[in-house]
Amino acid sequence: KQEVTQIPAALSVPEGENLVLNCSFTDSAIYNLQWFRQDPGKGLTSLLLIQSSQREQTSGRLNASLDKSSGRSTLYIAASQPGDSATYLCAVWDDYKLSFGAGTTVTVRA
Amino acid sequence: DVKVTQSSRYLVKRTGEKVFLECVQDMDHENMFWYRQDPGLGLRLIYFSYDVKMKEKGDIPEGYSVSREKKERFSLILESASTNQTSMYLCASSLSPTGGSNQPQHFGDGTRLSIL
């Protein structure tokens, strides 16, 4: 059974600092990997989807890398802003469904 | 933009009631999913459907059933609600069953269900 782990569980940084969020998974036979953002009491917003054949994917200040062989992905958020405060979830597509990590809760201090 | 709409944001029901949670998507997606989210346990898949009238069990199907009579609508049914089903329920849809062709999974805003 796929296990997805996100470290750290929580992170607090001053505004302007770059964020690095880590995700690891136990079974490297994944189809793809998706990063989400969740605000308190809300649903999930898709940030980036990395195909299994890709090494990274970028959208604005966000960059996600994928190393399938080692079972790792990293989400980088450049020049963090208070509006980036949220929980970030990593999920891997395997066996035609998503398996989620527990998330990293980020607080960006103004 | 893809829109996944869940019929209720908050719902309060009593133990033993039959509860229906409705989800509608507007992008003609074949695949639809129901998850529950609990503190410390994360998101867990209850059921998913890859076509009309088709359904597959996820990781925690016990106590739940689903219905998909139309492509755009996927319903989650709690046959006899119990207090341990108090949770946040999230519906999602996707064009691809695997995230292929850069087709991500899209989520609704969630229904916070309380069983008293």
pLDDT digits (tens, 9 = 90+) for A29-66: 888 999 999 999 899 999 999 988 889 999 999 999 99
Residue B67: predicted pLDDT: 97
Surface of A (9-48) touching B: CB under 8 A: 31-34, 36, 41-46
Span A66-101, pLDDT tens digits? 999 999 999 999 999 999 999 999 999 887 789 999
CA within 13 Å, CB half, B81: 20
- Closest-approach residue (CA) in chain B for A31: B98
Residue A60's alpha-carbon distances to A10, A48, A69, B55, B92, in angstroms, are 23, 11, 27, 37, 25
Query: What share of residues in chain A are helix, strand, coil (percent, to 5)?
Result: 5, 60, 35
What token pair was written down for B44? 């867990």
The single residue listed with the structure tokens 């940084």 is A13
Does the distance separating the beta carbons of B99 and A31 come in below 8 Å? yes
Question: Is B45's CB within 8 Å of A36's CB?
Answer: no
Q: Give the chain A residue nearest B42 (alpha carbons).
A: A102
Q: Pick the residue from chain A with its C-alpha nearest to B101.
A: A51
| A1 Cβ contact list (under 8 Å, min separation 6) | none
Give the per-residue pLDDT at A94: 81
pLDDT of A28 over the 90 cut: no
Phi-psi sector, B36: left (phi>0), alpha (psi -120 to 50), beta: beta
Put simply, the chain B residues between 83 and 112 with a CB less than 8 A from any chain A CB are: 90, 92, 97-100, 102-110, 112
The pLDDT tens digits of the residues spanning B54-109 come to 999 999 999 999 999 999 999 999 999 999 999 999 999 998 877 777 788 999 99
Q: Does B21 touch chain A (CB under 8 A)?
A: no
Residues of A in contact with B107 (CB under 8 A): 36, 43-46
Over residues B21-46, the pLDDT tens digits come to 999 999 999 999 999 999 888 899 99
Interatomic CA distance for residues A17 and B64, integer angstroms: 44
The whole-angstrom separation of Cα B64 and Cα A95 is 21
In this model, does residue B2 exceed pLDDT 90? no
Q: Do A89 and B43 touch (CB under 8 A)?
A: yes
